[in-house]
């Protein structure tokens, strides 16, 4: 598999199946959600259980459609291998995936039934 770096990103030619394999997406369950009051744009701090991968944190701009209570216990899909970032003083280890609705509000991507936590998306 081709290693993509900042230096060769524009020059990288990667087979479609290899490209899909670069992004590691996993199923997790939100165990705790609270407002990220320091965020410039309204967001939640999330704690997500990925089973064998452990609990990871994320800051997500989901306030338009979800309350903190709505999020707790929900299964989500997240990219888990993009590295850590600090967002408004909070360590964000994973990127929770969603799609915009017709008004640009983020709608969470999720599995349609119970699956093991940490399960890889393919």
- Whether 12 maps to a domain, the answer reads no
Indicate the number of domains in the chain.
Answer: 1
- Whether 2 maps to a domain, the answer reads no
- Whether 32 maps to a domain, the answer reads yes
Q: Rounded CA gap, 92 and 49, in Å?
A: 14
Per-residue pLDDT, 17: 75
- Whether 75 maps to a domain, the answer reads yes
Per-residue pLDDT, 1: 40
Q: Rounded CA gap, 118 and 30, in Å?
A: 12
User: Which one-letter DSSP state was computed for residue 84?
Assistant: -
- Whether 11 maps to a domain, the answer reads no
- Whether 39 maps to a domain, the answer reads yes
Ramachandran area for residue 50 (φ above 0: left; ψ -120 to 50: alpha; else beta): alpha
Q: How do residues 34-86 score in pLDDT, each as one tens digit?
A: 999 999 999 999 999 999 999 999 999 999 999 999 999 999 999 999 999 99
Q: What global pTM score does this model have? A: 0.84
Q: Could you list the residue range(s) of the whole structural domain that residue 42 is in?
A: 24-108
CATH number for position 29: 2.40.50.140
Per-residue pLDDT, 7: 53
């Amino acid at each position: 598999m081709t290693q993509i770096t900042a230096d060769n990103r524009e020059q990288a030619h990667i087979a479609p199946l290899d490209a899909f394999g670069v992004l590691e997406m996993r199923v997790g369950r939100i165990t705790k959600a609270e407002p990220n009051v320091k965020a410039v744009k309204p967001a939640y701090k999330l704690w997500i259980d990925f089973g064998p991968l452990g609990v990871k944190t994320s800051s997500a701009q989901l306030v338009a459609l979800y309350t903190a209570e709505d999020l707790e216990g929900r299964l989500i899909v997240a990219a888990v291998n993009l590295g850590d970032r600090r967002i408004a003083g909070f360590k964000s280890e994973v990127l929770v995936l969603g799609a915009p609705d017709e008004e640009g509000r983020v709608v969470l991507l999720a599995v349609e039934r119970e699956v093991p936590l940490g399960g890889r998306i393919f």
